[in-house]
Chain A
Amino acid sequence: MTTAPVTATKAGLLSCETCGLLSQPASTDESGYCPRCGGELEARRHRSIERTWALVIAAAICYIPANMLPVLGTTTLVSTEYDTIMGGVVFLFSSGSWPLALIVLIASVMVPLGKLVALSYLLITVRRGSVQRGTERTQLYRVVEFVGRWSMLDVFVDTFTVALVQLDPLMSVHPGAGVLFFAAVVVLTMIAASTFDPRLIWDASAEPAPSKENSPQQESNLG
């Protein structure tokens, strides 16, 4: 690309996040509403960086009890055993179904952790105004958006195990406190992915001299 790429913001236009209509705001102070769908217009998602950070930190905190606390408790006539998420993976592996063990390991342990790392990386590079590898970072964002839902797998597994194995007093399965934290990690990271505005990745490369109204949210949180 030889010339500086023209973005909608640079051209003084706003693109509706709901319906995609490109429109020109009546005034620079107030963006107003999309004439087609009535959605509120914003140059960038409102307070994107702070909100995403808050959600990522909250999810990271929940990630610890999600992995430490048991997600399932199995009560038999003689004893009660508690299983954490890793315990479930080990159980699947030792019972011979290693492909499933791998799926659960990826979906429940690696994907949430990877999402937290990826979102933090995106937030840090945006804050630093990095202009490099924009395409790769946008692709990383799309991966985060796409894989997020798959972490809910373990919550579904636990739900249906609990619902089915209720053979009191012979054997019954109960959910542990870890399930809620785990579900919270998934929900929080999904919301974090949707509050992060991938357009911020490209704003630094809209140089030279990005005007003030380019990203007021971004400016305000630097103070």
Chain B
Amino acid sequence: MPEGKQLGGELTPVACHQCDLLQVLPDLPTGGKASCPRCGYTLATRPVDSIERSLALTIAALLVLVVANATPLMGLSAVGRHASTTIIGGAYQMWLEGQELTAAIVAFCAIIAPAGFLLCLLLVLLAVRRPPAPRWVGGMLRWAEYTRPWAMTEVMMLGIMVALIKIADLAKVDAGIGMFAVGVLMLLFPAILSSVDTEELWARVAWHEPGPKSGPATRRLPASNPMVGLEKTDAEKADPEGRPESTNSQTPSSRSRS
């Protein structure tokens, strides 16, 4: 049984990632969203049918990514000559022109990061279908988080269009299949991001350290900043310092830093 489901009836304590405010997550309805009352950061979302939907979208995006990279983005005809370029062809030409570092940045943002993100996410989604997923899934999920900001499909799409319009002044240009594939990819990426429930994925991953039996995270926390509609727990009254009972809290391993 996935741990995410076990959490269902419980109140999950979290600290806001952007202002560190301690609060308890309400039991979110499907399609619901919880925001931090202090800074407005989206703490959690509960998309409909998260895993299956994300999996379908990720597989689709990977296929489109292959098409986008294998077919020409755009072509150019002038004085009886025709030229076309692909994504990797663009980066390669930059490399040839002596801009190796720029070529590497373009290749990373246009191909490596999107492909890395999608592949990591695919492995994670496939693995978490039968929880608990093995520990390496956590590493994959972390890599997906690392590569996500660098996958710039939508920026590349706009870049292609601006380049197309600029060159159209000089010569006859035509859009290739690759450009439409990038356009589809541009739509698939936000769809994937909004269908993935990271919290649920993490809940299904096997713990790195065998944790105490008490279950995930601290159950009783000082709820002086409760989400709307939640009752204060009495833990705070019992302990003016606001420290949760240590028996209920997870103790992280203290192995030495490498």
Contacts and interface: CB of A to CB of B under 8 A. Distances in A.
A7 B20 contact: yes
B174 to A, nearest CB: 11
A170 interface: yes
Contacts of B246: 24
B178 to A, nearest CB: 11
B231 interface: no
A166 B82 CA distance: 10
Contact of A37 (B41, B89, B98, B142): B142
A194 B78 contact: no
Contact of B211 (A5, A35, A141, A153): A35
B164 to A, nearest CB: 8
B149 A190 contact: yes
B102 to A, nearest CB: 5
Interface in B207-258: 207-209, 211, 216-218, 221-222, 224-225, 242-244, 246, 249-257
Binding site secondary structure of chain B: mixed
B252 A33 contact: yes
B99 A7 contact: no
A38 B202 CA distance: 12
B224 to A, nearest CB: 5
Contacts of B209: 33, 35, 38
Contacts of A153: 155, 158-159, 162
B34 to A, nearest CB: 12
A59 to B, nearest CB: 14
A24 B251 contact: yes
Nearest to B39: A138
Contacts of A167: 76, 78-79, 81, 83, 171
Given A20-B199, A180-B101, A36 B205 contact: yes
Binding site secondary structure of chain A: mixed
A160 B160 contact: yes
Interface string A136-154: 0011011000000110111
Contact of A152 (B155, B171, B198, B242): B155
B103 to A, nearest CB: 8
B253 A139 contact: no
A139 B119 CA distance: 31
A19 B12 CA distance: 14
Interface in B6-45: 13-15, 17-22, 38-41
A15 B17 CA distance: 8
A35 B243 contact: no
B109 interface: yes
B138 A35 contact: no
Interface string B143-163: 001000110100110111111
Nearest to B179: A160
Interface residues of A, number: 82
Contacts of B18: 138, 141-142, 198-199
Interface stretch (A47-55, A90-98, A120-128): A90-98
Nearest to B44: A20
Contacts of B173: 164
Which 3 A/B pairs are nearest by Cβ-Cβ distance?
A: A156-B159, A8-B15, A38-B208
Interface of B: 13-15, 17-22, 38-41, 73-74, 76, 78-79, 81, 83-85, 89-94, 97-99, 101-103, 105-106, 109-110, 135, 138-139, 141-142, 145, 149-150, 152, 155-156, 158-163, 165-167, 169-171, 173, 198-199, 202, 205, 207-209, 211, 216-218, 221-222, 224-225, 242-244, 246, 249-257
23 contacts: A7-B19, A15-B17, A17-B17, A20-B14, A20-B202, A22-B221, A24-B246, A33-B255, A35-B251, A36-B207, A36-B208, A37-B142, A40-B257, A134-B39, A138-B40, A142-B18, A153-B158, A161-B166, A163-B92, A164-B84, A165-B171, A175-B98, A179-B94
Given A10-B242, A33-B208, A194-B149, 10 more contacts: A3-B224, A21-B250, A37-B202, A103-B158, A153-B159, A156-B156, A157-B162, A157-B163, A166-B93, A167-B171
